[in-house]
Amino acid sequence: MTDTGSAEPGNPGTGPDQHGTEAGSTADDGVPGSLFGPGSQFHAFFSDPRWALAVLRATVLEAAHPQVGAALIENSTFVAHPWRRLRNTLVSLQRMFGPDEEVRQREADRLNRLHARLKGSDARDRPYDAMDPRVRAWVVATLFESSVTMCRLSGQPLEQTAMERLYAEYRAYLAVLDGDARHLPPTLQEFWPYYDRVVEEELENTESMRIILYKLFDHLPAPPLLQGLPTMWAAGRSVVGPLVGVITVASLPESFRRRAGLPEMPGARTLMQSAYLAAGLARFLPDGWLQTEHVTKLLSLSPDSDDPRARTVSALRDRMKRAAALVRLLTPLPPEPEPGDGTDARRDAAEFFTTVLDQTGDGFLDWPDLAAMAREIAGRLDLAEPAETRLYDAFADWWRELQAALDTDGDGRVSPGEYAAAVPSLAGPALIRVAEVLFDATDADGDQRIDADEYRALFRTGFRRDMTDADGTYARAAFVRDFLSFMSGRARSTPYDPLLAGA
């Protein structure tokens, strides 16, 4: 653990940086000179289209670290629920780099509780711990270095002052998380030898890295905008996916590419630089067109939502359906099912296992899958202690109940075969407890009713009037009944599908 009370020269978490700004402070609330908020260098990058490429590159470099790679492969939902993971990551970064110090500290506390639960051993029995300060420093280092690289590859390298400024901001971010930033070098000049050393001595060709580079886009589920249009999505994915992989590999440090045996296709560097240049040109589109927050929310927006932007989604889907119809006229493909036609009211056991229970996408049900459910719910409701721990404990009890009933071979996890053979009713005492705890967490004012605002906080949509009582609220009994119906009856549910089954 890091000594949170220590100070060191140049540490942005403990004293003024080279510009005279208190790195851990937000006294100027985002005006020029602040390391957080709208005046920061990071804020200028957040809605830059090039940053999508930079974040993907940073994620690959993170996953190449053995500890991060092991934590991702065993606990993360990035394979089965990538759009949800993307949105949660961006929301977290917005909170951490925003001008509100109270929001930032609350988010840091939430991240620390989350990371404290991620520890174990990899396939080679090497321990990993998401709270290891050296590993957390590396994650921040990849974000900084990839931001610098994106500017260089797009022909607009950062000036030295801007680069130092950005580095101070990322060190301040780490200081908020860890209490200090001692595991990142105090100056930019010292950062580059540190970065090269980690790349040369610690990074590996991990399974998580290979999945991100070569498998993730091959199986990437459609965002809500394109659900119900598998032909159109598969066609676009088959073209874009390999290109993204080639671009990302070409942007990685050359020494690591050689050591990890990552192939570089002919013309890859030209393609990579063209992609960064093209993304950079998109910055000149009208303000608001490419705001990261707006684009991410649009991608995760369900057409069934009562959000006004759902009309835009519906209009785009209608246009895409017409295009898909044209494709089907030209190619011998079976017709695509229309969502909501009554044929998809229930899932079979295999689909329920894959889309709801197997949150990590590894083909089995075990504790990380239920922990991912608890993590998603706690994040949506922005739970603090002790409500968050109470929710995790309820899911842990449910896992023990499922393991005792379904794990027939005693390997510590439940396979699809074990699940299907048992054809269980999942509504045991522990699941009922989960439903009760979930109700209490959602009922923020504790009046034993869920009102429209509380419902929207969990499901990000308004509830239908037929779900409510005469006073326009959602009673405990009805909430628990609907949750159990979804989890045990395998019925599709407008609110719970986006929460637990959505990509």
Question: Which residue do the tokens 């628990």 mark?
Answer: 480
pTM over 0.85: no
DSSP 451-475: -HHHHHHHHSSPPPGGGS-TTS-EE
293 versus 265: the higher-pLDDT residue is: 265
User: pLDDT of 416-467, one tens digit each?
Assistant: 988 888 765 567 899 999 999 999 999 999 999 999 899 989 988 877 655 6
Confidence of residue 17 (pLDDT cuts 50, 70, 90): very low
Whole-number average pLDDT of the chain: 81
Q: So what's the pLDDT on residue 183?
A: 95
Pick the range with the lowest mean pLDDT from 117-126, 342-351, 357-366, 442-451.
Answer: 342-351
The beta strands (E) that lie in 46-203 are given as: 119-121, 127-129
Task: Give the length of the chain.
Answer: 503
In whole angstroms, what separates CA 155 from the centre of its chain? 29
Report CA torsion sign: 211, 91, 116, 252: positive
DSSP at 337 = P
The span from the CA of 355 to the CA of 497, in Å, is 9
pLDDT above 70: percentage of residues in the chain: 75
> CB neighbours (10 Å) of residue 285?
10
Query: Which structure tokens are listed for 483?
Result: 């949750």
Q: 395 near 432, Cβ under 8 Å?
A: no
Q: Has residue 2 got a pLDDT over 60? A: no
Q: Has residue 69 got a pLDDT over 80? A: yes
Query: Which structure tokens are listed for 411?
Result: 């390997």
> CB neighbours (10 Å) of residue 25?
14
The span from the CA of 503 to the CA of 79, in Å, is 9
Q: Fill in the amino acid letter for 291.
A: Q
**What angle (nearest 5°) sits at the alpha carbon of residue 300, between those of residues 299 and 303?**
90
Q: Fill in the amino acid letter for 483.
A: F
Report helix, strand or coil for 413: coil
Confidence of residue 341 (pLDDT cuts 50, 70, 90): very low
- Per residue, what are the HEC states of 339-370? CCCCCCCECCHHHHHHHHHCCCCCCCECHHHH
373 versus 347: the higher-pLDDT residue is: 373
**Domains in the chain: boundaries:** 43-300, 349-501
CA distances from 215 to 87, 219, 237 (A): 20, 7, 12
DSSP at 22 = B
Q: 225 near 299, Cβ under 8 Å?
A: yes
Confidence of residue 316 (pLDDT cuts 50, 70, 90): low
Domain 349-501 listed as CATH 2.160.10.10: no
The span from the CA of 167 to the CA of 187, in Å, is 8
Q: So what's the pLDDT on residue 239?
A: 78
Max intra-chain CA distance, the chain:
69
Q: 434 near 486, Cβ under 8 Å?
A: no
Query: 469 exposed, middle or buried (CB, 10 Å; 0-12, 13-18, 19+)?
Result: exposed
Question: Which residue do the tokens 């851990």 mark?
Answer: 24
Q: Which contacts (CB < 8 Å, 24+ apart) does range 30-36 have?
A: 30/98, 30/99, 34/99, 35/168, 35/169, 35/172, 36/97, 36/98, 36/99, 36/101, 36/104, 36/169, 36/172
Q: 403 near 379, Cβ under 8 Å?
A: no
Residues 6+ apart with CB under 8 A from 77: 84, 85, 359, 360, 361, 372, 376
The span from the CA of 114 to the CA of 108, in Å, is 10
Rg (CA), the chain: 24
Confidence of residue 44 (pLDDT cuts 50, 70, 90): confident
Q: So what's the pLDDT on residue 1?
A: 36
First to last CA, the chain: 35
User: pLDDT of 148-191, one tens digit each?
Assistant: 999 999 888 999 999 999 999 999 999 999 999 999 999 999 99
Q: Has residue 332 got a pLDDT over 70? A: no
The span from the CA of 189 to the CA of 164, in Å, is 9
Report helix, strand or coil for 392: helix
Confidence of residue 307 (pLDDT cuts 50, 70, 90): low
Q: 84 near 169, Cβ under 8 Å?
A: no
Question: Which residue do the tokens 């075969």 mark?
Answer: 417
Q: State the DSSP H helix or E strand holding residue 449, giving kind and residue range, or none if neither.
A: strand 449-450
The beta strands (E) that lie in 16-126 are given as: 119-121
DSSP 90-111: HHHHHHHHSS-HHHHHHHHHHH
